Amino acid sequence: MAEASQGTLGDKEMVFDLLSTQKHITSNHNTRAGECKNTELRDAFLSILKEEHNIQSELFDISFSRGWYPVKEAPASEVNAARTMLSQ
């Protein structure tokens, strides 16, 4: 689509802005859920947090599929080492 020009955001800039906003939202909801005394309210925050993570993931997938957010694939040995470390 159109590139950014004269103060107008292009597709890439809009998706990156949305992705940045989602990262901020999920961070805030994560903190609120972790520091919530009321169980029902915590569960509500966790439900919202899951929805927000899904939105963030969709935005990441859009960025990645269009080549805007390249990610280097980790070697299987590093993935297995991280899995082992986190499971201990």
Domain ranges of the chain: 11-87
- Both tokens of 55, joined, read 């939105």
Q: Mind listing the pLDDT tens digit of every residue in the chain (88 residues)?
A: 455 556 788 999 999 999 999 999 999 999 999 999 999 999 999 999 999 999 999 999 999 999 999 888 889 999 999 999 999 8
pTM of the model: 0.73
Beta carbons within 8 Å of 64's beta carbon, 6+ residues apart: 70, 71
- Report which of 27, 32, 4, 29 is spatially closest to residue 16, judged by C-alpha positions: 4
Helix (H, G, I), strand (E, B) or coil at 6: coil
3-class DSSP string for 19-38: HHHHHHHHHHHHHHHHCCCC
Q: Which two tokens stand for residue 21?
A: 């906003």
